[in-house]
Amino acid sequence: MKYYIIAGEASGDLHASNLMKELNLQDKEAQFRFWGGDLMLAQGGELVKHYRETAFMGFVTVLKNLGKIRANFSLCEKDLLEYKPDVLILVDYPGFNLRMAKFAKHHGIRVHYYISPKIWAWKEGRVKKIKAYVDRMFTIFPFETEFYKKHNYEVSFGGNPLLDAIENRPNKDESFENFIQKNALSEKPIVALLAGSRKQEIERILPVMLDAVTDFADYQFVVAAAPSITKEFYAQVVGNKNVKFVYGQTYDLLQQSRAALVTSGTATLETALLHIPQVVCYLTGGGKLLFAIGKRLLKVKYISLVNLVMDKLIVKELIQQFCNKKAISEELKNIITEGEYRTEMLNNYQALHEKLGGAGASVRFAKMIVEDLKIQ
């Protein structure tokens, strides 16, 4: 069968690549055409656009790039019709993908959504579009089933593919000595910095994370650099701060770290599943005013996936004006110090792992997709 897949960011590239790997095993005649990244490309098929060319974040950035965004829509619509896939598989990325779902539905192309947009957090009204244009929704969090049930829309939960990615990661038995040697790091304990994969969020959050460096002379701070971001860009953001970088080794870095500072998103869950204590740091433009507005718009109690899945405060969330050097340093001291606070967080991580189910989610999702297509 012919699969057209659209993923618009690094996490989507990861999950889509694992899904493609399993689809290849379930469907020996699988053909892929996609918007995504290097991990998807490694599974075979034709890459139409890399996500680094399509990731526009924030109102001002979107406004400046409206011409490019419209061109991307036109290109995708034309390409989809020419390819004539058996199914369009959308991976999160709702601003682009919900429009493509509508287009595909109107042209008789079956639409699967793999990894639901976070409409349970905000823009809940988008559920109407999903019900109208998505033939089957595959979800990766248990609470999403209840959310969609409230809207009379049946979904398919198959576990969380992050468990597969972490379980099957290379170098999971690597020693600390080998890791620091190959990356020219010191022997000091590591604090990992996960500042996101988009330029706008890196510019906002990384300098604030680095403000805490001077309070921890006995540790080395290492940035998990996004593959799509150049060294020159990071150098401009960091300035003369004492920090090192590793590219394409986020899991390797985390597993060798004593603790991590993490911007909200999939990275908070990855950090937890690797059992690394963390502080969630989140900043957007707009300061206190935007924070006040955001609190009214958000439909959830927490911003980190760790706390959302467990439905309680497991990791500290420092948001907007509360995300500052003093608060970051205080919480980082709490989680790097051996004691009850750190132990409780690690114990909660184990409960989180059990709640998300075991490995094998990518296999289960691939089987559901292939079986669905066979009966159409």
Answer for the pair 175, 151: CB distance below 8 angstroms, yes or no: no
CA dist 169 to 47, 87, 197, 252, Å?
24, 29, 20, 9
Confidence of residue 57 (pLDDT cuts 50, 70, 90): low
Residues 256-279: what's their mean pLDDT? 95
Q: What pLDDT, on a 0 to 100 scale, did the predictor assign at position 290?
A: 45
Residue 203: its pLDDT value, please?
A: 93
Express as a percent the part of the chain with pLDDT over 70: 92
Task: Confirm if 193 and 201 have CB atoms less than 8 A apart.
Answer: no
Clarify whether residues 253 and 331 are in a common domain.
yes
Judge whether 234 and 209 are in contact, CB under 8 Å.
no
- Taking the C-alpha atoms of residue 225 and residue 247, their distance in angstroms, rounded to an integer, is 5
Instruction: Convert the pLDDT of each residue in 284-339 to its tens digit.
Output: 755 454 444 344 445 558 889 999 999 999 999 999 889 999 999 999 999 999 99
* Type of residue found at 326: K
Q: What is the CA radius of gyration of the chain?
A: 21
Judgement on whether residues 108 and 78 belong to the same structural domain of the protein = yes
What is the rounded average pLDDT of the residues 116-139? 90
Give the CATH number for residue 104. 3.40.50.2000
Residue type at position 167: E
Same domain, residue pair 114 and 198: no
Phi-psi region of 15 (alpha: psi -120 to 50; beta: other; left: phi over 0): alpha
Q: What is the pLDDT of residue 375?
A: 84
pLDDT at 289: 44
Mean pLDDT over 27-44 rounds to: 96
Question: Which comes out higher in pLDDT, residue 302 or 98?
Answer: 98
Q: Biggest alpha carbon distance in the chain? A: 62
Tokens coding 265: 């998103």
Q: Rounded to whole angstroms, how far apart are CA atoms 305 and 150?
A: 20
Angle at 256 between CA 254 and CA 259, to 5 degrees: 60
Give the rounded percent of residues in the chain with a pLDDT score beyond 90.
Answer: 71
Task: Determine the average pLDDT of the residues in 241-267.
Answer: 94
Tell me how far apart the alpha carbons of residues 4 and 52 are, in angstroms, rounded to a whole number.
19
* Euclidean distance between CA atoms 187 and 252, whole angstroms: 16
- Mark whether 350 and 363 lie in a shared domain: no
Is the same domain home to 142 and 175? Answer: no
Given this model, what pLDDT does residue 299 score?
53
Asked whether 95 and 61 are in contact (CB, 8 A), the reply is: no
Please say whether the dihedral angle defined by the alpha carbons of residues 91, 158, 196 and 226, taken in this order, is positive or negative.
negative
Tell me: do 337 and 240 sit in the same domain.
yes
130 vs 123: CA distance, rounded Å: 12
- Residue 180, Cα to own-chain centre: how many angstroms? 26
Average pLDDT over residues 223-250: 92
- Same domain, yes or no: 184 and 250: yes
Q: How confident is the model at residue 240 (pLDDT cuts 50, 70, 90)?
A: confident
Q: What is the pLDDT of residue 68?
A: 74
For the whole model, what pTM was predicted?
A: 0.78
Residues 288 and 273 in one domain: yes
Q: How many structural domains does the chain have?
A: 2
Sign of CA dihedral 84, 85, 86, 92: negative
Same-domain pairing of 161 and 214? no
Q: Which of 19-23, 38-42, 292-296, 322-326 has the lowest mean pLDDT?
A: 292-296
- How many other β-carbons are positioned within 10 Å of the β-carbon of residue 275? 14
Q: Name the most confidently modeled range: 55-64, 159-168, 195-204, 255-264.
A: 255-264
Range of the domain at 204: 169-355
Q: What pLDDT is recorded for position 351? A: 92
> Is the same domain home to 6 and 148?
yes
Is residue 137 located within the same domain as residue 221?
A: no
Let me know whether 153 and 288 are in one domain.
Answer: no
Span 324-349, pLDDT tens digits: 999 999 999 999 999 999 999 999 99
